[in-house]
Structure 1
Amino acid sequence: MSINKSLLVSTILAAGVVALPATGHAQETDGNESATTTGGLAEIVVTAQRREESLQKAALAITAVDSESLARAAITDTAGLVRVAPALQISTIGGSATQFYLRGVGNFTTNSNSDAAVSVAVNGVTIARSSAVQGMFYDLQRVEVLKGPQGTLYGRNATGGQINVITRKPDLGETGGYLNGEFGNFGAVKVEGAVNLAMGDDGALRISGIKSEHDGYLSDGTNDEDMYAFRVQMAAEPTENFSINVMGDYAHVGGVGPGVTIQGIDRDDRIGSLDPVAQPYLHALAFPAGSFLGERTGFEPYQDNDYFGFAVEATLTTSIGDITVIPAYRRAEVDFLTCTTQCFLTELDDDQYSFETRLTSNSGGPLDYIFGVFYLSEQSHERANYNQDFNAFFADFSNDTDSYAAFGRVTYHLSDAARLTAAGRYTVDKKNAEIFAYNARVVCNDLSGPPFCIGTPTLSPVQFDPLPIFFDGNGDLIPAQPYGNNATLLVGTAYNEPDETFKKFTYRLGFEYDVAPQSMIYGSFETGFKAGGFYNSVDDPVFQPETIDAWTLGSKNRFLNNRLQLNLELFWWEYKDQQISQFAFNSQGGVEFGTFNIGGTRIRGAELELVGKVTPTTTLTGLVQYLDTERRNFVYETPALVGPPPTGCPFEPSDAVFVVDCSGFPAINAPKWSISAGLEQEFDLSDNARLVFNADGRYRSSAYVGNEQLPFQLEKSSFMADLQLKLSFYEPEVYIAGFVNNVTDEITSTYTPFHPLSTSVVFESLSPPRTYGVRVGYNF
């Protein structure tokens, strides 16, 4: 859907509103939020800078989303955060693979070889694998989205930003809980609840859980949900100087999993690529018709993923500050078969151990400080098999990572109004791997006959033992160009044991100045770093680190007796040695999924945020982000083995390779305009009943969703809206709500891959359709 940007912006500004739904205010006051006594905007407390502070006093770009807003947007995983955080672009692309982009900084991570550029932490525990952030979005207090590199307090893999997921903690000395249910179209059923049990006056046990499911959004049953999870926490404050919280969680993600449709088929029909209806269309696009791609109807995709976690957070208050210790362990067992550009099977076992300790000042003197150390150890073993029809690629690889860091941050109060900040972090990432890659490809070596192969070789499972041949029985390998009479099986193998150490010092310099009691200006320069690593290849598998430099100038303000909030941020980022993960041809003509350092990107823009308490019962919210990105020195090579490279960028032949130059193009997943607006209207029906109406809308301008910059990868602009009407009672505490998400059933593509040998065969990962239903809840 295309709309006039200028008209939309003018309309929102004329209404006196520009901010993200629930980004500057809280829908309900809880232990971390306190509303003002003047009927103004609530104050939200965040911990983005490793200490509690008001959101309006945090000198950085941050979006904080409360639990009510998360529930209203029907968010059960990280992919749903795009509905409440406009700077984010997230999509799930197969099995457990999730790609995060924040203002154009991100990476396409599908396996344990590549790291995300946006880091995620749950209750202060860094999650090494973006695929492991599943089953976390229930019984939450808030989610914080930190925009820009967080190279000092968070460190590794936070070149684009940081997502902090904060769950509800046990309420000490209290007994209570809640039970919520949601029922909607597509067979959607979600049940979430928690029980808080007092253990004396200074302790509590909290048990929470969720079960969420819905049918597939595509006709082949893909894009469904079948997930359940639970969390157990036990907290205590045995003395006034010591607190401890012991946490354990488990999540299972099953069902069919993500899927794709084929570009060219009407999006409104939502025909999955595995649907028999799609097969004739798929073959008609391929060359030669009917013999390039195998049938997809024999595949039965699934996901059977389990995630476990255990952590302890203990804090001791001393005369020199608060000492916080967080040891943690996480495990992921991932098993899925999915079909996008090709069908592939993945089995992954991942173990993560981490330890962080911090000393945080608490004296209230002129010097605030945080010092800490961090250690993470990750061991993963993954087997991945790809059926590319013309090619079979097998990989068996193990990765070991040991990451060490020491960090510190000091803020000096020059006066009651002025502050200077300096911070630094030294990181050492040691990585080693054992990689076995096997590439089998069929070609026809006699061009004198008809355009088909005779006696196409069959892959034998014995050749690949102990790797499972998941597509055995679904047909032989289909030959690629050139076509002729006789088929030949070409096999390439590689075994690598890379071992690399990556080191980097990152830092931050900043200032803050209180212009008035509720007005602040701030500025900072911060650097970020993401280590290099390895990928599965018959060629050189090593890629190098990427870095980012970020300048920020901002202002945060409250006016009109705390009824109007106005925040402004200007930013300029320089993204260097950018890591790009994508499918590419190797030197043998086979297709591999690799990670490459390709040039960099200049990112600059502005973000304007407003929240207005128009009346005691009316709140208007919204946000406008302008983003200008340009790729620089974005040049890469691809083997000249299978014709011209699939790209919308200029290219030139050079010896045995094509040199592709995408310099000057915008970054992917970086819309120029991102706009959100919202309305919350309360109606007091009686002393015991309240009615609340919410309307939220979001607009994104067109943006590329693929690194090749092909015309079909330019996704059109879109506008989506959500509505909810909620009736609440105070005695007993119950509610019932009706909702519609994506009211106009707007459909967008979040990822647009194509078949490696034909850019005419394009697949699309689509956004969720219109959903509607009812929500009910009871607090006790």
Structure 2
Amino acid sequence: MAGPRINQHAGALAIACALASIGQSVHAQTRPADAAADNRPAQPDADAVADIIVTAQRRSESLQNVPVTVTVFGAEQIAQARIQGVNDIVTRTPGLSYDAFPASQPRLAVRGIGSSDRGAAGDPSAAVFLDEIYLGRPAAVAFDAFDIERIEVLKGPQGTLYGRNVVGGGINVITRRPDTSATDAAAEFSYGNYDRVDGVGFVNLPFAANTGAIRASGAYRSHDGYARNTLLDERVDDQDTLSGRVQLYAEPTERLSVHFTVDGTRDRATGPAQHVLDLDPTDPLSAAYTVDRDPKTTAGSFAGYQKRDTFGVRGEIDWDLDFATLTVLGSFRDLDYRSRYDFDGGNPSTNLVDISGGEEEQSELSSQEVRLSSPAGSAISWVAGFYHYRQQTERSDIFRLDTLFVAPIPLTEIYDQRATLDSIAVFGDVTVPITETISLIGGARYSRDDKTYNVGNLRSDAPLRGEEIFDVTASKRWDDVTYRAGINLKPARDHLLYGMVSRGFKSGGFQDTPSSAEDALTPFDPETALQYEIGQKSRFFGGRLVWNNTLYYIDYSDLQTRQVRPDGSIRTNNAGKATIKGYETQLDARPFPGFAISAAYAYTHARFDRFDDGGVDRSGNTISRTPTHKLTVSPSYTLGLGGELELTAAADYRYESRIFDDNSNQPPEIRPHTHFVDARLILAGIADHWSLSLWGKNLTDERSRTFQSVFLGASFGTYNPPRTYGVTLAWKLDGR
């Protein structure tokens, strides 16, 4: 079935290219001769789709001129759609998925390339960058999306342009920088069901004759929990998060700028609301559990907790030289994370096997980057740099088993891990115009990762998930050369065609819960991805319609897969080979004044070509956590009410096809397809500075499994948040 579908998608792209040619002919007849000569954009229609400026290639340029598949969320969309964290980004981005168990440790996958490894010696395959700073630990992804300029989701291997290399893709979060030209401030207060209380605000203050500015942002978000623990008679799965950011920006001279940022997040919550979702009839222990699929309640013997504290400093210096811009970027981040939770979601009256545990982690992440980039307006665009990243992680994985089937007393197993990663890289990228309409793109990167790893289970009562007690140290170095090469074709000012080949690399690692000393000393190998991509980006009808299409093919080798064994132990192996191919399309239209609609769709065909899973052939299976189809549709209508008053009605619809939570593709670890609907009604322009909005998320109260895993006789898992709704009052002072 995959072949015909790909052919259909190829046909769609061919039609788009044909439309681009037609559009070229039409515009050639209507635009001024000088504009036709230098390929400059003509004045857009007053109701045109707004042009989006991105920095995906380390320079500010229109999204429509970037030969990369990028999904972008602007500041207004982030605010109106209540995009607050990484989970909101994922649900709205075709081709992007994630697994969060618990929610404070999100694990991303882009176009089927992701990693479930949270161990101290593992790395994410798809990563998050906060103002170009790599957040290398899952629990470090703790930003709040208030006072954000935009969020860019880049798909495919990255690394020839900046920072840390990633094999699958990245989410770039770009905060609003201090503004030296005007005083600016805003504040919002929200109240909703489940006692939702949000308060956010920022202030921007210029100083020193408008050569510098300071900007302070803060956010507090809380609710009292989406589920009730019937045993303890208290609510769980709650939120209590406080985030802050202070930025200082200065321009001592016309050629020199300095930007310094301090940010932090304090996150407190109970443990996730766990459930026994299904029984494993092949395991005699299945008789010990009571199935509980009610997402509104849980019955765990204790509420648990998730505690996360992150702190970071960032400094950037930009110096405009005669031949280039020199950028020096440095950062340090500290993470303190602790969690405990009742994994089976039951108590002695419901489950005869009590499973609990959690993690404790302290990490320090630091990076330094020096790069030279071509000056603005240069005919040849280029960047070259050096990058260094160091990560030190101490992590404990805690597993507690209380059942008479195993021992007369509760038993605890603890894996203590200490890992150091030292990574260096040199990179460069260049775009060279060959003619007025054709440019060639090339980039390369050399990366070297050195890892030292110590792991032991000496504090365990017994080796519950292993074979012996041990404490060992291992080290390994991996390096690789990655690249991208492509062609950029501009047949007309509003149309772009491109082709790109890019190679990504992620270094190897070590087991976080090895079964033996030998297992601990044996590393798993690096994984690589070679992506072939062709795309088209076009604007039609004076910019009222923007339509972008992409076809891609990925040769994915030695992918690192993480499998849960029947005894509860977890092992990361190299699966062999996989092929991922797909089609993505994004359409934005303004067909008549006041009305706008955006739609995006991704088809992802991700299959293992070779995968020996402990003697079981998984070849042909779908890669876990990868939906074949994902669709988002977002219509909105704005009605002027006189003066500054405007009323906007908007909605978001999201569809995702079924997902396999495990590479075995066997039930019960299968999530059915889902439909989600959000909506909002916004009255803006009240007394010039105020706006009022009514909003609702998951209005159909869709309850889907967001995580599930089978071991010790049952499938355990969690559900997504229920229907939520509320009201937001916002105030804004714009001094510009």
After TM superposition, the score normalised by the length of structure 2 is: 0.86
- Unmatched segments (≥5 aa) in structure 2: 17-41, 230-234, 292-297, 345-354
Deviation at 1:395, TM superposition (A): 0.9
2:143 aligned residue: 135
1:224 aligned residue: 238
Q: Hey, what's the Cα distance between the residues in 1 that align with 2:197 and 2:451? A: 43
How many residues are paired up? 663
Kindly, what percent of the aligned residue pairs are identical? 29
Does structure 1 retain, via aligned residues, the 8 Å contact 2:338–2:361?
A: yes
Deviation at 1:555, TM superposition (A): 0.3
Structure 1, residues 357-414: CA drift from partner, whole Å, max 9, x if none? 1111016344221001100011111122111444643111110010000000011100
Structure 1, residues 548-569: CA drift from partner, whole Å, max 9, x if none? 0000000000010111111110
CA separation of 1:92 and 1:382: change in aligned 2, threshold 3 A: same
1:416 aligned residue: 436
CA separation of 1:193 and 1:596: change in aligned 2, threshold 3 A: same
Structure 1, residues 685-723: CA drift from partner, whole Å, max 9, x if none? 011201111111111112212233222222111111111
Letter in 2 for 1:218: A
Deviation at 1:57, TM superposition (A): 0.6
2:496 aligned residue: 520
Residue of structure 1 aligned with 2:425, choices 405, 412, 417: 405
Q: Hey, what's the Cα distance between the residues in 2 that align with 1:584 and 1:340? A: 16
1:656 aligned residue: none
2:102 aligned residue: 94
Residue of structure 2 aligned with 1:206, choices 183, 198, 215: 215
CA separation of 1:577 and 1:285: change in aligned 2, threshold 3 A: closer
Does structure 1 retain, via aligned residues, the 8 Å contact 2:119–2:511?
A: no
Structure 1, residues 204-223: CA drift from partner, whole Å, max 9, x if none? 11110000011222223333
1:775 aligned residue: 728
Structure 1, residues 489-525: CA drift from partner, whole Å, max 9, x if none? x972122211100000000111000011110100100
1:504 aligned residue: 480
1:653 aligned residue: none
Deviation at 1:187, TM superposition (A): 1.1
Residue of structure 1 aligned with 2:712, choices 740, 743, 757: 757
2:312 aligned residue: 309
2:679 aligned residue: 723
Q: Map residues 233-632 of structure 1 onto 2, 5 A cutoff.
A: 233-263=247-277, 287=285, 289-290=287-288, 297-340=300-343, 342-362=355-375, 364-389=377-402, 390=406, 392-438=412-458, 459=461, 492-536=468-512, 537=514, 538=516, 539-541=518-520, 542-584=523-565, 591-632=568-609
Q: Hey, what's the Cα distance between the residues in 1 that align with 2:526 and 2:459? A: 27
Q: Hey, what's the Cα distance between the residues in 1 that align with 2:289 and 2:543? A: 68
Does structure 2 retain, via aligned residues, the 8 Å contact 1:36–1:43?
A: no
Q: Hey, what's the Cα distance between the residues in 1 that align with 2:358 and 2:390? A: 26
Q: Hey, what's the Cα distance between the residues in 2 that align with 1:149 and 1:305? A: 30
Note if 1:740 corresponds to 2:693.
no
CA separation of 1:684 and 1:216: change in aligned 2, threshold 3 A: same
Does structure 1 retain, via aligned residues, the 8 Å contact 2:162–2:385?
A: no
The Cα RMSD (Å) is: 2.8
Letter in 2 for 1:68: E
Deviation at 1:762, TM superposition (A): 1.1
Q: Hey, what's the Cα distance between the residues in 2 that align with 1:396 and 1:593? A: 15
Q: Hey, what's the Cα distance between the residues in 1 that align with 2:495 and 2:156? A: 22
Q: Hey, what's the Cα distance between the residues in 2 that align with 1:240 and 1:576? A: 48
CA separation of 1:154 and 1:363: change in aligned 2, threshold 3 A: closer
2:203 aligned residue: 195
Structure 1, residues 568-603: CA drift from partner, whole Å, max 9, x if none? 100001111111123336xxxx64333221123211
- Unmatched segments (≥5 aa) in structure 1: 17-33, 265-280, 441-458, 465-476, 481-489, 638-658
Q: Hey, what's the Cα distance between the residues in 1 that align with 2:496 and 2:447? A: 32
Does structure 2 retain, via aligned residues, the 8 Å contact 1:46–1:55?
A: yes
Q: Hey, what's the Cα distance between the residues in 2 that align with 1:367 and 1:580? A: 41
CA separation of 1:285 and 1:747: change in aligned 2, threshold 3 A: farther
Say which is worse superposed, 378-387 or 324-333, in terms of deviation.
378-387
Deviation at 1:540, TM superposition (A): 1.9
Does structure 1 retain, via aligned residues, the 8 Å contact 2:45–2:543?
A: no
Say which is worse superposed, 231-240 or 491-500, in terms of deviation.
491-500
Say which is worse superposed, 252-261 or 502-511, in terms of deviation.
252-261
Q: Hey, what's the Cα distance between the residues in 2 that align with 1:79 and 1:124? A: 20
Letter in 1 for 2:534: L
CA separation of 1:344 and 1:296: change in aligned 2, threshold 3 A: farther
Structure 1, residues 710-738: CA drift from partner, whole Å, max 9, x if none? 22222111111111110011643110000
Note if 1:712 corresponds to 2:688.
no
Does structure 1 retain, via aligned residues, the 8 Å contact 2:398–2:412?
A: yes
1:254 match: secondary structure: strand
Q: Hey, what's the Cα distance between the residues in 2 that align with 1:334 and 1:90? A: 20
Q: Map residues 107-122 of structure 1 onto 2, 5 A cutoff.
A: 107-122=115-130
Q: Hey, what's the Cα distance between the residues in 1 that align with 2:45 and 2:326? A: 34
Deviation at 1:256, TM superposition (A): 0.5
Does structure 2 retain, via aligned residues, the 8 Å contact 1:336–1:347?
A: yes
Deviation at 1:300, TM superposition (A): 3.4
Letter in 2 for 1:355: Q
Does structure 2 retain, via aligned residues, the 8 Å contact 1:151–1:526?
A: no
Does structure 2 retain, via aligned residues, the 8 Å contact 1:621–1:678?
A: yes
Q: Hey, what's the Cα distance between the residues in 2 that align with 1:73 and 1:282? A: 40
1:174 aligned residue: 182
Q: Hey, what's the Cα distance between the residues in 2 that align with 1:701 and 1:345? A: 31
Deviation at 1:193, TM superposition (A): 0.5
Does structure 1 retain, via aligned residues, the 8 Å contact 2:618–2:663?
A: no
Deviation at 1:196, TM superposition (A): 0.8
1:131 match: secondary structure: helix
Deviation at 1:345, TM superposition (A): 2.8
